Amino acid sequence: MYEKVILRAFVRVHILHHASQEGIYGLEMIKELKSHGYDLSPGTLYPILHEMESSGLLISERKKVGGRIRRIYKTTKMGEEVLWRLKAFIREMSEEVLD
Number of domains in the chain: 1
Helical pair 77-98 and 2-21, crossing angle rounded to 10 deg: 130
Per the CB < 8 A criterion, the answer to whether 16 and 93 are in contact is no
pTM of the model: 0.88
**Cβ 88 vs Cβ 82: under 8 Å:** no
Which domain covers residue 12, as residue numbers?
Answer: 2-98
Q: Provide the pLDDT confidence category of residue 99 given band limits of 50, 70 and 90.
A: confident
CATH of the domain at 47: 1.10.10.10
Return the bridge partners of 72, or none. Answer: 61
State pLDDT tens for residues 58-76: 999 999 888 889 999 999 9
Q: List, in order, residues 6 or more apart from 32 with CB less than 8 Å away.
A: 14, 18, 24
pLDDT in tens, 38-58: 889 999 999 999 999 999 999
